[in-house]
Structure 1
Amino acid sequence: MKQKLTGIALLVAGLFCTSTYLPTTALAQTTSISKEERQKQAQEFDKASQAAIEKKDFLRGAELAIKAHQLESINGTFAYNAACAYSLAGKTDLAFEWLEKSLKAGYTNLEHVKTDSDLNALHDDLRWASYLGRVKEAAKVAAALWDSEAWKTPYADQLSEEERVAGLSKFWAEVKYNFVFTDTLKKLDWDAVYLKYLPRVKAAASTAEYYRILMEMCALLQDGHTNVSPPEKLYGSEFTVPPFRTRLIEGKVIVTDVADTSLSEQDIVRGVEITRVDGIDAKLWARKNVAPYVSASTPQDLDSRVFGAQFLLGKKAEQPQVEFKDASGKTWTKAIERVTYGKRNQGIVRAGPFSWKMLDGNIAYVALNSFGDDTAAKEYLKNFPEISKAKAIIFDVRENGGGNSNVGYKVLSTLTDKASATSQSQTRDYKPSYRAWGRPDSNFDFNPWSFPAHGQYHFQGKVIVLTSPRTYSAAEDFAVAFDVMKRGTIMGEATGGSTGQPLMFSLPGGGSARVCTKNDTYPDGKAFIGVGIQPNIVVRPTLVDFRANRDTALEAALSHIKQ
């Protein structure tokens, strides 16, 4: 049912599937209302259908989704949601009927259709394969305009000059017409940027060099949801990383996790500092060799990436000479062999999307580490009867890089007894004829969005949310909504300052890119993209605490609760 969108899910995407047939006369009175009002009413019906589906009232949810479809029939998502609801309700024939209607209305998201568990009941029906085939064909036709198969050329160590220039032009055009932050484009003079990078693209000696040039160009936009990704093959040779992870703590590059246990025999363990790389100050080396290719929305976002996941990023064939320093002041140098991201991830135990424990003083600590799927919300709600016995809850989203915003809203819905506002969103509303007539650019403002109170669950004790620069995207939407609720205190560090809806597209040689198409603010228009959500109480980790396995921010939160 739900699609995984980065940042606040677009309302018109109809994230929850719903449906039931209604006679067209039921909405006859709407024919005289404006287009904007029809869209607004459709979104209201969609919101109501989501609430019904959450309560497993599939038929009611379906009824509301069909009302949305009747108001805005060109939006195939509402019809698709109807099919999902019928499938969940065991109404197979009606499910296929509404799948056909969704296809006619332009819903061609094949990958989502194939993996949507709401449609599992249809998979054994003979009509399923035929439907998938028609969706595939329709998607291919639709892609011919915006993301043609022509862009999906095979990988080669050196792409042709024509491919390289075409890829540059594709990226430039998608940014020019879709990047939501047009003031940035004007300030950069995006056309001039294209002409500046064109000679370098034509002269690129390899596909790896070509993609580094595109990444450097993309980084000028200073947006964490706008990125260029090299072909997968290059991640095994050109874009490799050390077998450990690092973080900037009190201005020092500190090892936080080690994937290769053999390194511990050489005293490369959690808490040691990296002081120099190839004889250069570690921070200067990273700002010269890593930062120019990193897309980031804020200074704290840039530092988090440059001195975190991408620190020492480089060619596998090259082994940087790294100087380490332990707490006693001892220093030593070692040549570090780089590995793939995948191999490093295999060697580092990462926390799951959700965990919780009851701390001393009857305080519940709830780690929400990812909104990539529904796990965090489902597990939280499943454990809520026990969690709610606490006198206070600490929600930790410091390691949450985002996912689907609705996952976080489900958690927040248990902290209130009324509907709560979320971010306000807008996208570009480019009209070619208006440009020809000399009219100024304009934006489309999405209708204000809110989420309802859970109803059954309502925690009324103290609440604290812990944030960091690694709090990102949908996790920032969570923090904004919590801040607006005035339900408790945000502690820690400013968030990464980046959310939105990326537009994905292919580039020659197996690469890809994405462009941020949606700008989100607080409901009152206050900016947090490019700034970060500021904590009510700033708490930064200290190196002494980190080396002693003490959590500076968590201990500050516990003290705050006890005040």
Structure 2
Amino acid sequence: MEAIMRAKYLFAAIILFCLMQPGWSRTLTLYEQPRGGIPVVYELPEDANKNQAVTYIKSIRDMFFKQGELIDAKKTEPEVLRDKLKNGFVLYSVFGKESPLLRQTMRPLPFNWQGNSVTVGGKKFSGDKFRFIFVGKNPYSDIFCSVYAASTNEMIFNINNRFTGPRSYHLFDGEKQLDEGDYNENFILSKKDRLSVEEALADVREFFKNAEEIHPNLLAKMSVDRYLELKDRTAEEVKRKLDNQGEITVPDLAYILYYRAAAFEDGHTRIEYNSLPHKIIRAARFPPFLIEFRDGRYWITAAETSNLENMELVAMNNIPFSRFIKPIIERCSGEIIPYKAEQFTHSLNSQRFWWAFSGIIPSTGTILITTTGRAGNRIDTSLNTVDVTTFERLSKHQADSPQSTNTQIAYLDDGNIAYFNYTNFIQTDSEKKAIDGIFQDIKKKGVRKLLIDLRRNGGGNSNIGEFILSYLTTKRIRPFSKMQIKLSRVAMDQKTKAIPGYNEKFRSLEGMLVNVNFDEKKLEKPDAFFNGNAYLLIGNWVFSSAVCFTSMFRDYECGEIIGSETGGVVATFGEIAKLELTNSAIPYSISIKKFEGPHPKPGDDEHGILPDIPVTAEKLEKFKDQKDPVLAFAIDHIHNKAGK
């Protein structure tokens, strides 16, 4: 079990983006998308190592899927298995005739295993300790699953320790990676890692054409002259990146397009290429520390040298740090800088991706950093850069992030404050039931103070936000006062999948902007309605539907808001069309709608929602030794304001 704990930093990425809707032309990737309620299923042959493998699988379930059921596929009736796995699952299995579920998940793949050899997409590999980690076909629905397969039960143990970036599949022989690659939702392998100049420029034209046709106001924050210049410079930059054969790599094209998408200053319109080739990550150099963005500044949160921790990072190589990382920040889509900074810093995975993708850490082996301590003194320190393996180990020095499991309640301040940490707006019947259970428990315990923590909530489905709000106010409400939609072909095609006949009904209006106004409505008052004092804790990662909820909380005066500015703005673009470029298979998204808040206010399109009680570095000084200083400050504030 010690090995499991040492590898904890890798386990955050063991779930694939398996809840992705079918029908999008998308590359399937293993992606950091924790889902606490997903079942973990295994089918293993009987041998001396089976018990060890099952114990290991159970430890993974207990660590990351506490609400998910652990299922032995061989002891479960087929119809029961179908019902339990239809909404997604994680499978651990061993190649062979005794693994029918594994065969079904692999059926669409160009993969063949025969004894000591494996063939993937025509490439043959030899070995005797195979581990195959991949996005599989869910045989019970149109969504996907993640699969951890091996040649023996012995190879299942510690399979999650393998480095698996956001790719469709990874093949190992023991510890050695043999191959990795991508395929789309039809399980068609992506063949190209380089493009001709004609193919690259065709993808550039496709990106801009779709952005112009789909986005409701692409030039809301950009002049026509700048836009035309941006298009011209894109073609020029592609040509500058060509090699001697007149080709450009897919990562180089993605890096160029990241900047173009972010220039529109719309957090929902973005390039979503995150599958860097293994060789780029392995060749990259990284700083020997992790950082976070807080109170408008960058702080070192974990480091090989412990005396650097909790220091403000002011400069790198004598360049102000905010300017040093400008090539990264200007490629992160968003309306405001704090959200762009959060996209870079919010996890080890995101920092690893951007350091490797940008290549801004010099390969010389050393960097000079300037930090500021609590006394305000500036300190210059020369540090050796590190490889990716050493960089990933830094997570063991970092304090755990706030609990990521949805729909759980804790009682703090001697049981006087109900603490609801909500990380994803999920619209399902089971989610509603879980939320109602939380408020029932609060009512049963008679707790009169409630703190809802949205700091790690990047959005989801805004309808569940209305459901939560029904426990906090009896006022008539609306999530938006106004919505504007661009009736593009792509947007209508996507809508038709959810609303039959939508396309046909509005086809004659293609290209038009349609305005929709919303009236306030009365919500049904639940039995477990909360009659006490509500507080909302927010931060720079709060985005999309989480901002929608925050704006309703603000506009309908549900309580006090504590924390930092939200990452998203209230008057925002959103509800995205997800697309993939024809030649490079680079995924991207474009907003199809614009939304205005329930009660529009000045600045709603310029900055995020500002808290009533802002949290600053100075205010946190008192709580610097707490595991979560921001939460400690919020609890202290609520305690002192309302009393016990």
Q: Secondary structure at the match of 2:636?
A: helix
Q: What amino acid maps onto 1:180 in structure 2?
A: P
Any unmatched runs of 5+ in structure 2? 1-18, 22-82, 88-137, 146-183, 243-247, 490-509
Give the Cα separation in 2 of the matches to 1:112 and 1:423: 37
Q: Does 1:194 align with 2:234?
A: no
Asked if 1:369 corresponds to 2:423, the answer is yes
The 3 A distance-change label for structure 1 pair 341 and 404 is: farther
Deviates more, 1:395-404 or 1:414-423: 414-423
**Residue from 512, 523, 541 that aligns with 2:587:** 512
1:403 equivalent to 2:442? Answer no
| CA distances 1:294-335 after superposition (whole Å, capped 9, x unpaired) | 222113323434565566833378456152645465653212
Label 1:346 to 1:4 Cα distance change in 2 as closer, same or farther (>3 A).
farther
Aligned position for 2:625: 548
Deviations 1:364-415 (A, max 9, x none): 2221122257587554322323323211111111221112223333322212
Instruction: Give the equivalent residue in structure 2 for 1:456.
Output: 527
**Structure 1 residues 236, 481: CA separation in 2 closer, same or farther (over 3 Å shift)?**
farther
- 1:478-493 aligned within 5 A: 478-493=549-564
Looking at both structures, which has the greater relative contact order when contacts are Cα pairs under 8 Å and sequence separation is at least 6? Answer: 1
Q: CA RMSD in A?
A: 4.3
Aligned counterpart, 1:302: 340
Cα distance change, pair 331–185 in 1 and its aligned pair in 2 (3 A): closer
Describe how 1:347-386 pairs up with structure 2 within 5 A: 349-350=400-401, 351-354=403-406, 355-360=408-413, 362-371=416-425, 378-386=433-441
Shift in CA distance, 280/338, structure 1 to aligned 2, threshold 3 Å: farther
Deviation at 1:225, TM superposition (A): 0.9
Match among 320, 323, 326 for residue 284 of structure 1: 323
Q: Equivalents in 2 of 1:321, 1:450: separation in Å?
A: 58
> How far does the alpha carbon of each residue in 1:52-108 deviate from its partner, in whole angstroms, 9 at most, with x for none?
xxxxxxxxxxxxxxxxxxxxxxxxxxxxxxxx9xx99xxxxxxxxxxxxxxxxxxxx
Report the equivalent of 1:334. 383
For residues 394 and 424 of structure 2, the distance between their equivalents in structure 1, rounded to whole angstroms, comes to 16
Greater CA drift, 454-463 or 522-531:
522-531
- Cα distance in 1, alignment partners of residues 472 and 144 from structure 2: 30
If the length of structure 2 is used for normalisation, what is the TM-score?
0.56
Cα distance in 2 for residues equivalent to 1:188 and 1:322: 41
Contact 1:304/1:469 (8 A) holds in 2: yes
* CA distance 1:152–1:449, shift in 2 (3 Å): farther
CA contact (8 A) 2:285 2:386 kept: no
Deviation at 1:529, TM superposition (A): 4.5
Q: Tell me, yes or no, if the aligned pair for 2:368 and 2:380 is still in contact at 8 Å.
A: no
Aligned partners of 1:111, 1:170: CA distance in 2, in Å?
Answer: 34
Tell me if structure 2 keeps the 8 A contact 1:290–1:311. Answer: no
Aligned match of 1:69: none
Deviation of residue 451 (structure 1)? 7.5
Question: CA 1:321 to 1:545, structure 2 compared with 1: closer, same or farther past 3 Å?
Answer: farther
Query: Given residue 160 of structure 1, which amino acid in structure 2 is its aligned partner?
Result: S
Shift of 1:179: 1.5
Partner residue of 1:420? Answer: 477
Residue by residue over 1:15-69, the C-alpha shift from the partner in whole angstroms, topping out at 9 and shown as x without a partner, is: xxxxxxxxxxxxxxxxxxxxxxxxxxxxxxxxxxxxxxxxxxxxxxxxxxxxxxx
Aligned residues of 1:497 and 1:528 also touching (Cα < 8 A):
no
What is the match of residue 273 of structure 2? Answer: 230
The question of whether the paired residues in 1 share the 8 Å contact of 2:410 and 2:418 is answered with yes
Distance 1:340 1:446 in 2: 53
Work out the CA distance in 2 between the residues paired with 1:562 and 1:383.
Answer: 23
Amino acid at match of 1:199: E
Q: CA deviation at 1:161?
A: 0.9
Give the distance between the partners of 1:213 and 1:253, measured in 2 at CA: 26
C-alpha displacement of 1:440: 11
Secondary structure of the corresponding residue to residue 114 of structure 1: coil
1:430-459 alpha-carbon deviations (Å, 9 max, x no partner): 69xxxxxxx996333265575733522211
Q: Distance in 2 between matches of 1:511 and 1:212?
A: 10
Report the Cα distance in structure 2 between the residues aligned to 1:376 and 1:475, rounded to whole angstroms: 16
Please point out which of 532, 556, 563 is paired with 2:608.
532
Residue aligning to 1:155: 192
Contact 1:370 1:376 in 2 (8 A): no
The 1:446–1:562 alpha-carbon spacing in structure 2 relative to 1, beyond 3 Å, is: same
Cα distance, 1:505 vs structure 2:
0.7
Distance 1:488 1:246, change over 3 A: same
In 1, the alpha carbon distance for the partners of 2:431 and 2:380 equals 42
Query: How big is the shift at 1:176?
Result: 0.5
2:299 and 2:311 in contact (8 A); partners too: yes
1:393 aligns with 2:450: yes
Q: 1:160 to 1:324 in 2, by over 3 A?
A: same
- Contact 2:542 2:566 survives alignment (8 Å): yes
Q: How does 1:33-72 map to 2 (within 5 A)?
A: none
Q: Do the aligned partners of residues 212 and 376 (structure 1) sit closer, same or farther apart at CA in structure 2, a change above 3 Å counting?
A: same
Distance 2:144 2:479 in 1: 26
Q: Deviations over 1:245-281 (max 9, x none)?
A: 422345542123x3xxxx44x2166413323323323
Q: Which deviates more from structure 2 when the two are superposed, residues 304-313 or residues 386-395?
A: 304-313
Q: Calculate the TM-score normalised by the size of structure 1.
A: 0.63
C-alpha distance in structure 2 between counterparts of 1:512 and 1:445, whole Å: 29
Q: 1:254 to 1:236 in 2, by over 3 A?
A: farther
- Residues 291 and 333 (structure 1), Cα distance of their counterparts in 2 relative to 1, 3 Å cut: same
Distance 1:339 1:560, change over 3 A: farther
Q: What secondary structure does 1:415 align onto?
A: coil
Match of 2:292 in 1: 247
- Displacement of 1:199 in angstroms is 1.6
C-alpha distance in 2 between matches for 1:111 and 1:471: 35
State the shift of 1:554 in Å: 4.1
State the secondary structure of the residue aligned to 2:588: strand
- Counterpart of 1:532 in 2: which secondary structure? coil
| Secondary structure in 1 matching 2:484 | strand
- Pair 1:170–1:356, CA change in 2 (3 A): same
Q: How many residues align?
A: 421
Choose which of 546, 551, 568 in structure 2 pairs with 1:497: 568
Is the 2:203–2:584 contact (alpha carbons within 8 Å) kept by the matching residues of 1?
no
Following superposition, the deviation at residue 160 of structure 1 comes to 1.3
Alignment correspondent of 1:561 = 642
Match of 1:321 among 330, 350, 367: 367
Work out which of the residue numbers 256, 269, 272 in structure 2 matches 1:213: 256
Q: Distance in 2 between matches of 1:414 and 1:341?
A: 47
How far off is 1:478 after superposition? 1.2
Counterpart CA distance in 2 for 1:214 and 1:381 is: 44
Task: Report how far residue 339 of structure 1 moved.
Answer: 3.1
Cα 1:168–1:114 change in 2 (3 A) is same
AA paired with 2:469? L
If each structure's helix is expressed as a fraction of its own residues, which one has the higher value? 1
- Residues 223 and 296 in structure 1, CA contact (< 8 A), matched pair in contact too: yes
User: Structure 2 vs 1, CA of residues 193 and 282 (structure 1 numbering), >3 Å: closer, same or farther?
Assistant: closer
Matched to 1:548, the amino acid is D
C-alpha distance in structure 1 between counterparts of 2:374 and 2:330, whole Å: 31
Q: Which amino acid aligns with 1:461?
A: G
**Kept in 2: contact 1:301–1:496 (CA 8 A):** yes
2:584 is paired with a residue whose SS is helix
Q: Which residue of 2 aligns with 1:12?
A: none
Give, in angstroms, the shift of residue 484 of structure 1: 2.8
Which amino acid letter does the alignment assign opposite residue 291 of structure 2? Answer: T
What SS is found at the alignment partner of 1:255? strand
State the secondary structure of the residue aligned to 2:540: coil
SS state of the match for residue 470, structure 2? helix
Structure 1 distance, partners of 2:476, 2:295, is 40
Asked if the contact 1:403–1:474 (Cα under 8 Å) also holds between the matched residues in 2, the reply is: yes
